[in-house]
Chains A and B, each alone.
Chain A
Amino acid sequence: MKAIYLIPAALLLFLPALARADLKWEQTSVDVNPTVTDKQAVGHFKYQNTGDQPVHFKSVKTSCGCTAARSQQDQVAPGEKGEITATLNIGDRVGQQVKTITVETDDPAHATTVLTMKANIPQLLELQPTFVFWQAGEEPKAKTISARVGKDIPVKELQITTQNNQFEAKVEKGSEPGVFRIDIKPKETKTTSFATFTVRPDYPKDAQKAFYISARVAGAPGAAVPPAAAPVAAASASPGK
């Protein structure tokens, strides 16, 4: 009597395994290592249909708008190979970026597969902090920003400029290679002001990248900051300086 129930149940569980589509992924997680000059990080997810039925892609969706993914084809015939390519626009991202791609197919055994791309984006220059501020009336002492060049990146010099002459900046080489010290100070803190400093490393020569430091003298809470424009002041640090 028990067999009457168990046999159909077992058939329901195991029969689909006998004849089916079967999309096998070479790997569902890939690590990519773009260089400092790359604008995009690209990951390839290879697959093969090892079943005897074709597989159709129903959708390929990415976890954020910064990543695009596309499949080479909409349908994968039995035995056929292919890949999904995921492209991350690096923009101003740094460090490890984990993006997922959700692939939906009509393969009942693997209806949804989540692919993971880990992009390790090298940091050309780390500024810490990127923002310094003084309260109105505070003593106008210099505040220090540490600038650390990424590992194995041959930056020898930093140039810093601003359009606001209410602030002064000084760049010095640090105690070890690839480390700089940037001192910023307002000339006075009686009036509110805001400045953006542009920091340019001397590498890569053909695709110089700008980094920014903001400095502000804040007035009463919530007070608006007037935009300031003034002649460019520049400072730089290089070996021997």
Chain B
Amino acid sequence: MSIFNGMNVSASALTAQRLRMDVVSANIANAETTRGKLVDGEWQPYQRKMVVMEPNQSSFASHLSKAMGSNEAINGVKVRAIIEDQTPFKLVYQPEHPDANEDGYIQLPNVDPLKEMIDLIGTTRSYEANVTALDAHKNMLLKALEIGR
């Protein structure tokens, strides 16, 4: 429905930011995880994850409205994929660790807590911005109801 379109756009952004928040939390939680996944019988550390976002255009309704010649459908955002950061793992000398290799080094995840904290702040601010946009939209609708009062 058209009058709530803006709200739906903000809602999709809020959902996306929540997912991003979950991913950042998972990264922080697994910052020291040495047994992320088993590859050829050997433990690989946890790999940092990132979200990839794209405009939400896949809905049938948006394609239909575009084909019908109405103005460019306004779309929200959606998370296309969660990808893994390919930067190399950190090597730390810790020979007493059960996952240490023959040289006494263990591989730690490529998670940088500093980066994660920045991402966390970004996510929080982005969420707040979208809540503000949603509130503005609602206030606009309520203002419209005051016309002629």
Q: Indicate whether A and B interact.
A: no
Binding site for B on A (CB under 8 A): none
